[in-house]
Structure 1
Amino acid sequence: MDIQESIVDIILAIVLIISTLVLIMRVWQDLILAVAATLMMASLGGLFLSLGAKIRNLDQNVIARERTMRMNLDELNVMVSNKCDTMISEVHQIVGELSRRVYR
């Protein structure tokens, strides 16, 4: 994963964590609540980053499969075209032979 591609996601995760810290400043007396809320928001930010990375990975896989399928279809098109050309030339030869026999 490129860091430059996910810089926006990382910034948003940091903003999420900082906003959580600001929101729990009032209840800072309860340390367990503050730590739990901070960990919850940090894990939520990490989850968003992980999902973004997985979506990018899936997108790259789809692009690679599409490219492979396109190449395979092109090869198949060339093969079918060659076979059709061969069959057409054989049919022309047979028709030519038959027409010569008919005129004899």
Structure 2
Amino acid sequence: MDEYDNMKDIVLAVILVISTLVMVVRLWQDWIVAVSTGLMMISLAGLILSLCNKINTLEETLQARERTMRVNLEEITGKVDQKCDKMVDEVGEMVTALSRRVYR
């Protein structure tokens, strides 16, 4: 799909260049100027629309990555909390065992 988008942009850019050249070189013929100006505007609009589509795709990709990172961060936070709780329990048991030995 990415190659198709690139090819579309290239074709639109070529149309823009050709129509601009025709407009500049053959300025004395009105119908050629009108057609080339029309082609130039159509291709420019196509390039802008293509750019908008790419920006939308980029935003969707970023949102998906953000969601994935948020889920992964929540999972990691949960695992770290469990490990910390387990370590606190183990340290508490060790302190209790040592305090029993000291009081004997």
Q: TM-score, normalised by structure 2?
A: 0.70
1:36 aligns with 2:39: no
Q: Aligned ranges for residues 1-104 of structure 1 at < 5 Å? A: 30-104=30-104
Identity of aligned residues (%): 56
Number of aligned residue pairs: 77
How many angstroms apart in 2 are the aligned matches of 1:94 and 1:32? 91
Structure 1 residue ranges (4+ consecutive) displaced by more than 4 angstroms after TM superposition? none
CA RMSD of aligned residues (A): 1.4
1:35 shift after superposition:
1.6
Gaps of 5+ in 2: 1-26
Between Structure 1 and Structure 2, the one with more helix by share is 2
1:36 shift after superposition:
1.0
Q: TM-score, normalised by structure 1?
A: 0.70
1:34 shift after superposition:
1.4
Gaps of 5+ in 1: 1-26
Task: Report 1 or 2 for greater relative contact order, CA contacts < 8 Å, sequence distance ≥ 6.
Answer: 1
How many angstroms apart in 2 are the aligned matches of 1:30 and 1:84? 80
1:85 shift after superposition:
0.7
1:31 shift after superposition:
2.3
